[in-house]
Amino acid sequence: MYEISTDPARLDVPRIHHWLSTDAYWALGRPLATQQAAISGSLNFGAYHAGTGEQHA
């Protein structure tokens, strides 16, 4: 079971940045500061395991 949240405090920013900067063709090599600015200016959704709270998406 998963839960969806828009709480920015729950985002695992290092995990998000790593995935985007190494695996997403549109963000390869993106600096962390650029990703943090994008997150700050966006409505973000995260998917979390309901039991552990671990971010999955």
Q: Which domain holds residue 6?
A: 2-49
Q: What is the 3-state secondary structure of the chain?
A: CEEEECCHHHCCHHHHHHHHHHHCCCCCCCCHHHHHHHHHCCCCCEEEECCCCCECC
Domain assignment of residue 26, yes or no: yes
Give dist(CA 21, CA 29) in Å, integer.
Answer: 5
Give dist(CA 44, CA 16) in Å, integer.
Answer: 11
pLDDT one-digit tens code per residue, 1-54: 999 999 999 999 999 999 999 999 999 999 999 999 999 999 999 999 999 999
Q: Which two tokens stand for residue 33?
A: 């500061």
What's the number of domains the chain is made of? 1
Domain assignment of residue 55, yes or no: no
- pTM equals 0.84
